[in-house]
Amino acid sequence: MESKKFILQESDIPTAWYNVLAEMPTKPRPMLNPATKQPLKAEDLFPLFTEEASRQEFNDTDKWIEIPDEVRDMYRIWRPTPLVRARGLEKALGTSSHIYFKNESVSPVGSHKLNSAIPQAYYAKKQGVTNITTETGAGQWGAALSLAARHFGLELAVYMVKVSYNQKPYRRSIMQTYGAEVIASPSMSTKAGRKIITDNPNYQGSLGTAISEAVELATSTPNCKYVLGSVMNHVALHQTVIGLEAERQMQMAGEYPDIVIGCFGGGSNFSGITFPFLRHNFTGEHNTRFIAAEPESCPKLTHGVLQYDFGDEAGYTPLIPMFTLGHDFAPANIHAGGLRYHGAGAIVSQLKADGLIEAADIPQLETFAAAQLFARSEGIIPAPESSHAIATAIREAKRADEEGRSKVILFNLSGHGLIDMAAYDQYLAGDLSNFKVTDEQIAENVSKLEKLI
Amino acid sequence: MESKKFILQESDIPTAWYNVLAEMPTKPRPMLNPATKQPLKAEDLFPLFTEEASRQEFNDTDKWIEIPDEVRDMYRIWRPTPLVRARGLEKALGTSSHIYFKNESVSPVGSHKLNSAIPQAYYAKKQGVTNITTETGAGQWGAALSLAARHFGLELAVYMVKVSYNQKPYRRSIMQTYGAEVIASPSMSTKAGRKIITDNPNYQGSLGTAISEAVELATSTPNCKYVLGSVMNHVALHQTVIGLEAERQMQMAGEYPDIVIGCFGGGSNFSGITFPFLRHNFTGEHNTRFIAAEPESCPKLTHGVLQYDFGDEAGYTPLIPMFTLGHDFAPANIHAGGLRYHGAGAIVSQLKADGLIEAADIPQLETFAAAQLFARSEGIIPAPESSHAIATAIREAKRADEEGRSKVILFNLSGHGLIDMAAYDQYLAGDLSNFKVTDEQIAENVSKLEKLI
């Protein structure tokens, strides 16, 4: 554990987010109105999202978007976060590669999710919104938004995926301690939830279902807006503080990454760590590889199709051009609840289609083995989500060793796993399994999408 | 949440611990052999503790004791920790006082306990010891020592107080993830444990009991040493990195504390935050107040007696001159498991007797109210132990406001409460109580001590 941290000062917190939409060689196709199939404009999202988030969603011209002072003030609770040279892990692997991780787990809610929760709550407050609602998987996003909502004096209702509500009661308690209302999803409080419970009383929920419920609440409640923790362009935008800080810290370390890795659910932390480095690939200055690490049980980027699909289970959202497994895909109950989502955001999907990023699908047991090795060599118990990035970093280090090369590998430690210890218990007891989805299952599920457009 | 952090670099990690024993106006009376009543020397502790820890225990001449490079290397995983001006809390209180906290919760195990776990494991390794054993209350110390033991390649057995073993299963899992063996105490694995279980089958354990079990294992196992997370002088010594860093950070803030507060179980984090500031009281340069915040259910400093007593339930340890409630005192099952200990370390006890520090006893409900206010205003959910310090800081800020004065108040946030959410659940549900101990109960319990010496 001779690891070395690279530490920035508060004055080094970025003053602007990096907007990759302005620089992508091929822009994603537009979101569509599912009824008319017409492209949407920012104003079309105003009933659902805050106006500022809606405008950011469509902004493909401004490369840099200023971070409001009120947001930077709150970032200062825990930012800048450390970049760490993981010498303990390197030694445990016996690799000649250099492994770095950006430690986003140091936020008070334990993950990177606050980076977007804060600006979204701020924009709601500024607009005069009183109530916001959202969904959460493992509870990382819900905990972050609960804190941000409390700070800006907003009421918050969180639909929490039922399997996580039961698996991770502590995250529910965290949200409640900050003052949020938490509802297990699917619930009887919405039409979407009632339908799903009626069709399948034992269904343990998914992010897609929880999004449907939150969207329904937002669109049927006065002065209430919906807030999303991943998938959307504006969320990816806010998360770029991760990569922008990491870029400066890699300069302090005197290296530049050959490979940058983030775990992948809808794209929030992956976008955050990679986009600022990706811009140097656009200019030809660097030729870094970017790897999205997804669960083999929910493998949209590696095994899904790029197609217009809904962002939610019930079909309330606009149609989004995404790598998808189908919006009614029911992922296995893996412990990485934040990665149990059927689709990838539009930007990441386009980048994947264009060969500008890669993806890897990782079995659950491999992620826990990686997590345990990391905990014992670096001291930090990682979130099950983040363990997908660690497992991928380990794969790449081993591959480089086999090829007789030394790589500079950077991954994002999106969160800690201190509230996921029940999962570790099961792993240590040998009670965890892999859940591989077959290509036939995926083909059947996505075949239903053709009628959407 | 306009809070402001003061951030040091890794090169600012102290190179020496501050040894208050060398400068105290009145030294504590010596530890005694319970059989002969003769004062002990360092060598007398060698069968139990590592030789280096034993020597440090008796070192009352060296003001500064060098921190080994191997220890500083591991401190770099998370140190230096931030000092934070808690403007959010100040605003919520409407106080004109300035409140600062040292954030020790950012360690990978979530508390300050690693500060002493690392050197103690290092000294064991250096001495050729292969096995170590300890006790833990809430699990903060056990988690820290598990990580340190893993790093230095030592086998570790942890006796965990039964009430916490059941209340806080995640901390048990953390220890196991790092590779430690965890036993609920009292257990049938030791003579001390078997006797207690036989006398009282439903006894939920205490730190005193768990210490007895660990001491028995250490003294009956070849090449095994006992390691303690609080009470002892050498533990207080190691924890002074907290206050030494905080002193520099207060200089960055351009202020000096009028009041320094730490929660109090056996003394580890209280000693760590206060001793470096206390030395400037010795010289007359400052006249800071120091307040040990203890639970009203376990009030040794505020309601106990200063007397020779055992450090453990079964009477295996040397006799220590301590403020005590009696070594067989059975504290109520409050959630601040780390504060459920009958006695105060010798140094702190002497300082209290000499009027150089103060103490406050805080009801459990007041600590949770303070914790909730802190979580909502500063974003960090505190450990139930640390909440005693927060409650005391709030008391002092209110008192200063009533007196029309503005104070600079510094407290130590010894750990986060993310693994204590079951306690918050109970608080939010209105299911928590206060547990006041009467002076009559204490008088009866300490009356039994007279025969010890």
Reduced to 3 states (helix: H, G, I; strand: E, B; else coil), residue A285 is coil
d(CA A253, CA A243): 15
Question: pLDDT digits over B168-185, tens only?
Answer: 889 999 999 999 999 999
What is the distance between the alpha carbons of residues B129 and B375, in angstroms, rounded to a whole number? Answer: 42
Q: Give the pairing of strands A259-263 and A224-226.
A: unpaired
C-alpha angle B89/B95/B101, rounded to 5°?
40
| The pLDDT of residue B31 | 97
C-alpha to C-alpha distance for B100 and B254, rounded to whole angstroms: 12
Residue A368: closest C-alpha in chain B: B177
Q: What is the pLDDT of residues B217-240, one digit of tens each?
A: 999 999 999 999 999 999 999 999
The whole model's pTM is what? 0.94
Q: Do B76 and A9 touch (CB under 8 A)?
A: no
Tens-place pLDDT, residues B303-329: 999 999 999 988 999 999 999 999 999
Whole-number pLDDT of residue A169: 86
Pair B320, B231: CB distance under 8 Å = yes
ipTM for this model: 0.90
**C-alpha R_g of chain A:** 20
DSSP character for B39? B
pLDDT value at residue A1: 52
C-alpha B128: how far from chain center:
27
Contact between residue B80 and residue B8 where contact means Cβ atoms under 8 Å apart: yes
Provide the 10 A C-beta neighbour count for residue B198: 10
Residues from chain B contacting residue A178 (CB–CB below 8 Å): 375-376
Closest to A304 (Cα-Cα) out of A361, A385, A388, A263 = A361
pLDDT value for B2: 58
Which residue, A98, A122, A372, A344, is CA-closest to A232? A344
The shortest C-alpha distance from B442 to chain A (Å) reads: 35
C-alpha angle with apex B286: B29 to B84, nearest 5 degrees?
Answer: 100
Three-state SS for B90?
helix
Q: Exposure string (b/e) for A4-26, b if CB count within 10 Å is 16 or more?
A: bbbbbebeebbeebbbbbeebee
Q: Are A376 and A352 in contact (CB under 8 A)?
A: no
CA–CA dist A8, A409 (Å, integer): 20
The residues, ordered by sequence, that sit 6+ positions from A23 with a Cβ below 8 Å of its Cβ are: A63, A279, A282
Calculate helix-pair angle for A169-178, B364-378, nearest 10 degrees: 80
Chain B residues whose CB is inside 8 A of the A3 CB are 76-77
Cβ of A178 within 8 Å of Cβ of B376? The answer is yes
Chain A, nearest residue to B84 by Cα: A77
Mutation pick from A81, A125, A151, A177 vs chain B, by most beta carbons of B within 10 Å, is A177
How far apart CA B242 and CA B79 sit, in angstroms, is: 9
| Amino acid at position B358, single letter | E
What share of chain B in percent tops pLDDT 90? 90
Helices (H), A283-355: 300-303, 346-353
Closest CA to A86 of A102, A105, A104, A99: A99
Q: Are A374 and A296 in contact (CB under 8 A)?
A: no
Encoded tokens for A444: 């059947």
As averages over each run of 10 residues, the pLDDT of chain A (453 residues) reads 81 97 97 96 96 98 98 95 96 98 96 98 98 93 97 97 87 95 96 95 89 95 95 98 98 97 97 98 98 98 97 92 95 90 97 98 98 96 98 98 98 95 94 94 90 78
Print pLDDT tens along chain B (453 aa). 556 899 999 999 999 999 999 999 999 999 999 999 999 999 999 999 999 999 999 999 999 999 999 999 999 999 999 999 999 999 999 999 999 999 999 999 999 999 999 999 999 999 999 999 999 988 999 999 999 999 999 999 999 999 889 878 899 999 999 999 999 999 999 999 999 999 999 999 988 899 999 999 999 999 999 999 999 999 999 999 999 999 999 999 999 999 999 999 999 999 999 999 999 999 999 999 999 999 999 999 999 999 999 999 889 999 999 999 999 998 898 999 899 999 999 999 999 999 999 999 999 999 999 999 999 999 999 999 999 999 999 999 999 999 999 999 999 999 999 999 999 999 999 999 999 999 999 999 999 887 787
Q: What type of residue is B227? A: V
Concatenated DSSP letters of A388-453: HHHHHHHHHHHHHHHTT---EEEEEE-BB-TT-HHHHHHHHTT-----PPPHHHHHHHHHGGGGG-
Q: Which residues of A137-160 are buried (b: 16+ CB within 10 A; e: fewer)?
A: bbbbbbbbbbbbbbbbebbbbbbb
Q: Which residues of chain A have a Cβ shorter than 8 Å from any chain B Cβ? A: 1-5, 7, 9-10, 73-74, 76-78, 88, 106, 108-110, 147, 150-151, 169-171, 173-174, 176-179, 372, 375-376, 378-381, 416, 418-419, 421-422, 424-425, 428
Helix (H), strand (E) counts: chain B = 17, 15
Total residues found in chain A within this entry: 453
* Cβ neighbours of A169 in B, within 8 Å: 421-422, 425
CA-to-CA dists, residue B134 to A356, A360, B400, angstroms: 52, 43, 41
